[in-house]
Every structure is written in C-alpha cells, then in structure tokens.
C-alpha cells in the first residue's frame, strides 16, 4: 500500500487483526521495513502491525533533499489516518528512533508508547564527540565509493550474518545519493534540540555491542533522566538489535506493550 506524502509516495504494509492494538515500526537509515520481519511474525496474531519505508528507502519515493525527520513523523500520522488507526505504539530504530520521538511530541493524542532501538534523545543536544563522528561519517561517505561504505557499515553495525547481509543489500538498493541525503538529514536533526521530550511511556533499547560505544552511555543517561522509563540492553546484538537477537528483543517489547494495557 502507499500513502501520498507531500514529498512522495510512502510504501507501507499492514498485518494483523483490524481492531487489535496497533504497533508501528520505523526502520533505521539505509534499511527498510523488511528489517522487522521477525517482529511482524511474532506480533501479527495479537496486534495490528504496520511497517513502512521512509522516503529514499525501500519501495518509497526517492529523496530530493536531506531526509526531514519531522516530515517522516507526519507520515506516521498520515498512515494511521489512512488505515483508520486512532492510536499506536511506535517503535523506531536509529534514525527511525528520532522519527518516532517527534511523532510522540507532535501527535501526543495518537501515540501510546515509544520504543527506541539504538537512537538518542531528541530532547538533548548531541555532545561534541558524537557530533564530530557524524560529521566525519558524512565527509568520508561523500569521498569514498558506496560499496566500500556499505560493506563497512554492515560489518560494524551487526553481529549476525543474516543481519549483515540484509544491511548491505538494503544500502546497495538505496544507493549512495540517497544514503547521503539520509545521513545529511540525520546530522541536521542531531544538531537540533526538540522543544520538549515526548510525554509517552518510553522503552530505550540498544545492543550489547552497540557502535559507537558512546551511544550506550548516552542511552543510560537518557533512561536516568526520564522517570518511569524502561531500559534494556539486548545481549550479543549490535546496532541492529532487533535483527541480531530478535527473540530477546521481542520478549522485551512484549513486556513493555503489555504493561501499557492498550
């Protein structure tokens, strides 16, 4: 199915009972909604599961400028309206983690809970070291061949061969031009502090072998700064924690969702 955003066509898929509580999964940069196949399989019998491809990714329209994270948050609301979903728990990986936080900020009446996988808080400015790492990544990505960038990123961000192969294939499918637009948009949003933190119940997750390692420290600080938030380190997993260790991640997500009593 497709949702017509102001910047292009957004591809999405819906599975599960029509009247069941909704879970919306937003992938990370360079990937697509197919990264959540294990979550779809685990949750579709009890929940209405929606996965989608951000602009510039997968089967959605290409980007013509840097990815606009706030526009992607609006796409979540648009898909919900298209499917007549009143409320949902939103789950976001990496850049998708920023998207779902902005969905919670801008559409608080529609979002029941937020799950971050390997992302940072949008309510806190990135520290100098983290910012320099992102700037360096963008600089090197402009200079180096796409195949080299994609292979190295896939190796650094995953711990299992299946996740690594998916990561690499997805980025090759995306192409270097779209990747640079995505990375530029990620850098844009990381230099901006949200006007407030999302008010919804929050689950912060990351892989035990998350890269860069500074993200682990930042996630622990984020958890400490948000009273009542939940936190989980996914054993043996890298940046793509929901793919590297899907069983553990799924149990963690289910526990969080059940506590919300949707």
* CATH of residue 190: 3.40.50.1820
pLDDT reading at 58 higher than 90: yes
**Exposed e or buried b per residue across 227-237, where buried means at least 16 C-beta atoms within 10 angstroms of its C-beta:** eeebbbbbeeb
For 180-212, how does the pLDDT look when each residue is reduced to its tens digit (9 = 90+)?
A: 999 999 889 888 899 999 999 999 999 999 988
For 95-122, how does the pLDDT look when each residue is reduced to its tens digit (9 = 90+)?
A: 999 999 999 999 999 999 999 999 999 9
For the chain, report the end-to-end CA distance as a whole number of angstroms. Answer: 26
Domain coverage including residue 114:
2-260
For 120-141, how does the pLDDT look when each residue is reduced to its tens digit (9 = 90+)?
A: 999 988 777 777 877 888 888 8
Q: What is the pTM of this model?
A: 0.97
**CA neighbor of 41 nearest in space, from 24, 60, 22, 16:** 16
pLDDT (average), residues 29-50: 98
- In whole angstroms, give the CA distance from residue 28 to residue 182: 10
Domain count, the chain: 1
- In order of 8, 95, 175, 255, the CA distances from 115 in angstroms are 26, 12, 28, 12
Please give the mean pLDDT across all residues of the chain: 95
pLDDT (average), residues 34-53: 98
pLDDT reading at 165 higher than 90: yes
pLDDT (average), residues 150-163: 96
CB contact set of 261 (below 8 Å; sequence gap of 6+): none
**CA neighbor of 249 nearest in space, from 216, 210, 214, 206:** 206
């Amino acid at each position: 199915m497709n949702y017509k955003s102001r910047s292009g066509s957004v591809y999405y898929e819906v599975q599960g009972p029509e009247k069941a509580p909704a879970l919306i999964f937003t992938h990370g940069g360079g990937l697509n909604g197919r990264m959540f196949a294990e979550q779809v399989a685990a949750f579709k019998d009890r929940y209405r599961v929606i996965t989608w491809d951000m602009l510039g990714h997968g089967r959605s329209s290409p980007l013509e400028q840097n990815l606009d994270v706030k526009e992607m948050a609006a796409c979540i609301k648009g898909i919900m309206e298209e499917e007549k979903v009143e409320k949902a728990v939103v789950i976001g990986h990496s850049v998708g983690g920023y998207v779902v936080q902005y969905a919670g900020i801008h559409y608080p009446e529609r979002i029941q809970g937020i799950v971050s996988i390997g992302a940072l808080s949008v309510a806190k400015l990135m520290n100098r070291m983290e910012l320099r790492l992102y700037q360096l990544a963008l600089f090197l990505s402009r200079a180096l061949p796409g195949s080299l960038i994609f292979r190295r990123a896939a190796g650094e961000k995953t711990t299992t061969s299946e996740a690594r192969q998916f990561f690499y294939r997805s980025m090759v499918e995306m192409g270097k031009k779209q990747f640079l637009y995505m990375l530029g948009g990620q850098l844009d949003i990381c230099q901006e502090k949200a006007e407030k933190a999302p008010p919804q119940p929050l689950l912060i997750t990351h892989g035990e072998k998350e890269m860069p390692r500074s993200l682990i420290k930042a996630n622990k600080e984020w958890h400490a700064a948000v009273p009542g938030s939940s936190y989980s380190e996914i054993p043996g997993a890298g940046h793509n924690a929901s793919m590297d260790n899907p069983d553990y991640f799924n149990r963690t997500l289910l526990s969080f969702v059940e506590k919300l009593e949707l």
